[in-house]
Copies of this chain bind each other. A is one copy, B any other.
Amino acid sequence: MPAAEKISYDPHAPVDPRVETLVNELIGRVADKWTLLVLEELEDHGTCRFTELARLVPGISQKMLTQTLRAMERDGLLVRTVHPVVPPKVEYCLTDLGHSLGEAFCGVWIWAETNLDRIERARSAFDARG
């Protein structure tokens, strides 16, 4: 390990490798394209129904929307409320935990907005080099 101590806050410094494994596993699940996009829409629009989310999240299939919502429900990120009416009405709403994850991802959205141009330029340069 290159032991260059950082002056700024390093969240990884005092970590038990067992915990690190679990965190990596969790990151692997949560840092999924669809989870992120669903999270974003639920943050933006509040409680949503199934078809509303299908419309809001660009390009998601019904299968993946169902899977993503189930996984998020299992992880306690959102609550699924079934209204026993016809036609069916199911609402999805972020929990406190879901909101806290949304806030944690805030920095990433800001980063993406801020650096869009820079990345497109980097890609052009890379592609030009062959």
| B32 near A33: Cβ-Cβ < 8 Å | yes
Task: Please tell me how many copies of the chain the complex holds.
Answer: 2
| A104 near B108: Cβ-Cβ < 8 Å | yes
- Residues of chain B within 8 A (CB-CB) of A118 are 76, 97
Which secondary structure characterizes the binding site on chain A?
Answer: helix
Give the docked Cα–Cα distance between A26 and B101 (Å).
Answer: 19
Instruction: Give the residue name and chain of the B residue nearest to A4 (CB).
Output: B46
| A109 near B9: Cβ-Cβ < 8 Å | yes
Give the docked Cα–Cα distance between A29 and B99 (Å).
Answer: 22
Number of chain A residues whose Cβ lies closer than 8 Å to a Cβ of chain B: 59
Give the docked Cα–Cα distance between A9 and B37 (Å).
Answer: 17
> Among residues 84 to 115 in chain A, which have CB atoms less than 8 Å away from a CB atom of chain B?
97, 100-115
Instruction: Tell whether A49 is near chain B: CB-to-CB under 8 Å.
Output: no
Given contacts A74-B127, A100-B111, contact A37 B33 (CB under 8 A): no
| B37 near A113: Cβ-Cβ < 8 Å | no
6 contacts between A and B (CB under 8 A): A1-B45, A11-B106, A26-B112, A75-B122, A100-B111, A104-B107
